């Protein structure tokens, strides 16, 4: 068990910068697009990280339980759908912020759950398989136990989350109005690009 914990933390710490790279194009536009207080920003980042943690625990459970049956194609499909859903979330958010006068966007604003955006984004980003994740999965396929897999991913999450600390200070930049407008545009561009990226990965 100690070995699993240490491996999880060390993998997270050694590859976490890559996680920061993968999360940033999706999460940074959201953080910069509204003026918020430091406390609110911390809450938003915590919600995002909670989503990631949920996704990692789910992966841990699936790999531990079904390690004999999991194929790379299945994992790739989960990843593709996760990226697709993240991109749709981001495009929706970008549309709401850039075009609030549109009726469609006004309806979305009042949709239940839309304000849990960071949590939803965290879950979908967490379900996407990035290179550090692949290394973790390769290790766990040999372990093949549910409890160990879940614990591994919890500590992997903790290791990678160290690199997410800078996100909580982004409210310093989002207080500048111009940056808010720019980030709202970036949200749509980023969402569209990831949508296209997911389609190219799926081979449709």
Partner 1 sequence: MILSILLFLILLLGTSIHSKFDFMNFAVNFAYSLFVSFLFFRSMKTKKISQCRSVLFILLSVFFILCFKIIFTSFFTPYCHIAMSSNLIRFIYNAFSDWKVQLGILWLIVTLGIGQAWCSWICFFGGIDEFFSKLLPRPILKVRRLPTFWANFSLGLLLFLFLVSFIDDKSTFCIWFCPLKMTTAFCDSTNMTARTIQIVLLFSLGTSLLVFLPLMTKKRTFCGVFCPFGAWQSLAGRISPFHVKIESQKCGKCDICMDICSLFAIGEKDNEYTILSNCTKCGMCIDQCPDNAITINHPKYFLFSCYLISGAMGASFIPKFIVNCIEKLFL
- Give me the residues that bind partner 1 (CB under 8 A), please: 18, 20-22, 24-25, 28-29, 98-99, 130, 178, 181-186, 188-190, 193, 196, 199-200, 202-204
Closest CB to partner 1 among 10 and 196? 196
Closest CB to partner 1 among 58 and 185? 185
Q: How near is the Cβ of 27 to partner 1 at its closest, in Å?
A: 9
Closest CB to partner 1 among 149 and 160? 160
Q: How near is the Cβ of 62 to partner 1 at its closest, in Å?
A: 24
Instruction: Determine contact, residues 156/45, Cβ cutoff 8 Å.
Output: no
Closest CB to partner 1 among 96 and 154? 96
- Residue 169 tokens read as 């200070």
- Residue 162 tokens read as 């160290």
Entry field: residues in the chain: 204
Q: How near is the Cβ of 37 to partner 1 at its closest, in Å?
A: 23
Closest CB to partner 1 among 46 and 202? 202
Q: How near is the Cβ of 117 to partner 1 at its closest, in Å?
A: 18
Distance of CA 144 to the CA centre of its chain: 25
**H or E element: which one contains 143?**
helix 131-143
Q: How near is the Cβ of 72 to partner 1 at its closest, in Å?
A: 17
Quote the crossing angle between the two packed helices 146-161 and 2-32, to the nearest 10°. 50
Q: How near is the Cβ of 4 to partner 1 at its closest, in Å?
A: 28
CA distance 47 to 125: 13
φ/ψ of residue 67, rounded to 5: -60, -30
Name 94's Cβ contacts closer than 8 Å, sequence gap at least 6: 29, 184, 185, 187, 188, 191
Closest CB to partner 1 among 149 and 161? 161
């Amino acid at each position: 068990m100690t070995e699993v914990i240490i491996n999880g933390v060390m993998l997270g710490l050694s590859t976490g910068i890559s996680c920061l790279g993968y999360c940033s194009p999706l999460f940074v536009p959201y953080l910069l697009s509204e003026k918020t207080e430091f406390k609110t920003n911390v809450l938003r980042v915590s919600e995002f990280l909670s989503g990631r943690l949920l996704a990692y625990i789910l992966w841990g459970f699936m790999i531990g339980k079904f390690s004999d049956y999991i194929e790379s194609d299945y994992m790739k499909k989960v990843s593709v759908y996760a990226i697709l859903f993240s991109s749709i979330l981001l495009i929706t958010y970008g549309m709401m912020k850039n075009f609030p006068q549109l009726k469609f966007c006004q309806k979305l604003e009042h949709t239940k759950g839309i304000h849990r955006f960071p949590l939803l984004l965290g879950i979908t980003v967490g379900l996407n398989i990035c290179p550090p994740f692949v290394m973790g999965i390769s290790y766990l396929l040999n372990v093949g136990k549910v409890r160990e897999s879940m614990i591994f991913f919890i500590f992997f999450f903790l290791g990678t989350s160290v690199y997410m600390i800078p996100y909580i200070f982004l409210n310093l930049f989002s207080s500048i109005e111009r940056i808010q407008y720019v980030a709202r545009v970036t949200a749509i561009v980023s969402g569209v690009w990831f949508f296209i990226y997911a389609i190219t990965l799926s081979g449709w």
